[in-house]
Structure 1
């Protein structure tokens, strides 16, 4: 029986050579090289590398001086990283239900929530490009201008994504959070990037990235060993080996995206008429970080059968109000976010990654078609 993992990283000679180069030149500042390339790639003034996407977001909130009782709006479907980091500051995540077809946070529900709760201590709205599809941010920019709140862009699933010919992360968001990761649960390598046009935010993030330490500048007469601590930071800095792998992936991102889109198009063409499932509804640019289908019933049984065929699948976007911590903390009812709940009961993510071989794609399609045709 063929074994198809949900994801494996696309490691080539480029990545291996990059690792070797770091080991041969361990004092070379490859982090600065990544930050400069990332700024040019996105079209942004400042890029601050961090340990992970989660660390980059935590660093962003730290640099914003988020305090106890502050409120930040986010999708009930966003990755647990975002409400978790908000809670680390004893601030409050305000969850918003989603659009059924795209999984994006609902603009109308976001607007209604702001009108209901007011803007006291409301610091930001986190908007998420979901599964690799571009979200239209213009309505949210208008909302932010009206109420004088900041937009933070969750671009952790959007590296290389375009929208209306513009690179995601280059618009007028206060900050964007990116993730370059070569695996999910147990990363081979990862790097987070905080990007912004705001000089004050960038300088504060750089200061806090390594314990708030400021070192004495090297001169011809003064050695660089004295330092001072001018702020209470944390250890967000990333290793050179992580950066080497992730910079290599950034340089190959166009190919990686192209291959994922090819696989998605093949899935679309092959599975479009399969009974009992719905393929992704595409309403804007999409790079298919995830390929999410919907099943009309018995999702868990279907996933079990795929696993028995050797196909590993995933379940993304468990609504936050169903997670034990938030359910208990905020006394949510299961019906509080009905669209997210309905989607959650149906969705399943099929394997899709640039290292996936065509025979593996064919095998996934064959098994999905076989199982859907057996369903009553």
Structure 2
């Protein structure tokens, strides 16, 4: 029988189905009480003061850019090794994206490259930074916060890959991804292959009450019924559109699924760590595969990325064996849209070298030991041919 082992996969349990079914049979399908429960639980999980549930991770990024008043002429720095939405959110708001190359050991944005960009231009040239916790590996946001403060910049942490991930700060304190200690805003995704699957969905976390209030307004068409915010009040039916907002709401039944999944997040993370450790040991013995290097950071392992020679051959070989690996990511600056804006191949050699060799192999909590052994066996057999 042909196998089908994807690089990532959702895991839906009977408890998840029951949670969704309960909401489907209730009075609320769109904006109901389950959304508030999810927001409170998620804020507690990552250690932030506030959380705002939204339609997806891209909507989360867009709302963050709007809440921080990104506008035409603003220049925002991000990494080329990410999903396009990390950069696109700046363009949605009319700003300009500037890329900085990656650290070849961690595959995340290189703070030294960001510093060089900032110091090569007059203060005020740039307005913000969007670091990405790529594959689940947490960026050292304490260092980025210090750099941002020197230059008057805001930070949006793209933590879509990293719920449950953390790094140890200079005082030895655990800093959870998305806790708001160093970033102005952080975003997460509830796409099916992520840690918490809701079909679609996303979350924004922050410790700023002002940003929280603005996000709530922007999420729902810029409309409020809050009596304390209304300029006039004609009665219980009255509402006001105070900003040009969007319909970026999450539904109550999606929130129910995400909340149920969140209850198993720690168990899922532990399983991901076990899978990663087994890969680490197997490939260390092989000696010809490069892996993402660990520091004092706790990787959430959304992805397990390897670097290999003959990447395309290995990809095809695994596919023939029923193992569907993936490439994360094609450097954003090489996309036709960004090439039209002046970026070109050769601008970021480390990101481009990484892209030529990277491969994401199966990593998800329901991956069985037998399936993982099969993946390892096939990768070994490829290199031993």
Check whether the contact 1:277–1:372 (CA below 8 A) recurs between aligned residues. no
* 1:1-376 → structure 2 map (5 Å cutoff): 1-27=2-28, 28-164=32-168, 165-170=174-179, 171-183=181-193, 189-215=199-225, 224-274=236-286, 276-283=288-295, 284-295=297-308, 297-330=309-342, 332-374=343-385
Contact 2:107 2:292 in 1 (8 A): no
- CA displacement, residues 75-132 of structure 1 (integer Å, 9 cap, x when unaligned): 1212210111111122101100010010111111100101113333522111111111
Deviation at 1:371, TM superposition (A): 0.5
2:198–2:258 Cα contact (<8 Å) kept: no
Query: What secondary structure does 2:201 align onto?
Result: strand
Matched-pair contact (CA < 8 Å) for 2:82–2:328: no
Q: Distance in 2 between matches of 1:119 and 1:83?
A: 22
For residue 328 of structure 2, give the secondary structure of its aligned residue in structure 1: coil
- String of CA shifts for 1:268-288, please: whole Å, max 9, x gaps: 122222253223322221121
Distance 2:202 2:362 in 1: 23
> Do 2:162 and 2:301's aligned partners in 1 also have CA atoms closer than 8 Å?
no
1:281-309 residue CA offsets vs partner (Å, 9 max, x unmatched) = 222211211000111x2211110111011
Greater Cα shift, 175-184 or 88-97: 175-184
Q: Structure 1: which 5+ runs fail to align?
A: none
Unaligned runs of 5+ in 2: 169-173, 228-233
- Post-superposition, which runs of at least 4 consecutive aligned residues in structure 1 deviate over 3 A? none
The 8 Å contact of residues 222 and 244 in structure 2, kept in 1 or not, is answered as: yes
8 Å contact kept, 1:272–1:279? no
Provide the C-alpha distance between the structure 2 equivalents of 1:316 and 1:225, rounded to a whole number of angstroms.
Answer: 48
Distance 1:343 1:216 in 2: 50
Q: Distance in 1 between matches of 2:337 and 2:84?
A: 11
1:8 & 1:177 partners in 2: Cα distance?
A: 21
Assess if the C-alpha contact under 8 Å between 1:51 and 1:236 holds in 2.
yes
CA offsets 1:185-243 (integer angstroms, 9 cap, x no match): xx7613211111111111111111111112266xxxx9743222111101110111211
Alignment partner of 1:369: what SS? helix
Kept after mapping to 1: 8 A contact 2:64/2:156 = no
Please report the TM-score for the alignment, with normalisation by the length of structure 1.
Answer: 0.93
Query: In the comparison of the two structures, how many residue pairs are matched?
Result: 367
List per-residue Cα deviations over 1:310-345 (Å, max 9, x = no partner): 100010022112111112221x23211011111111
Q: 2:203 and 2:344 mapped to 1: Cα distance? A: 35
Residue 366 of structure 1, CA deviation = 0.9
- Would the aligned equivalents of 1:275 and 1:373 in 2 still touch at CA under 8 Å? no
Alignment CA distance shift 1:275-1:308 (3 Å): farther
RMSD of aligned residue pairs (Cα, Å): 1.8
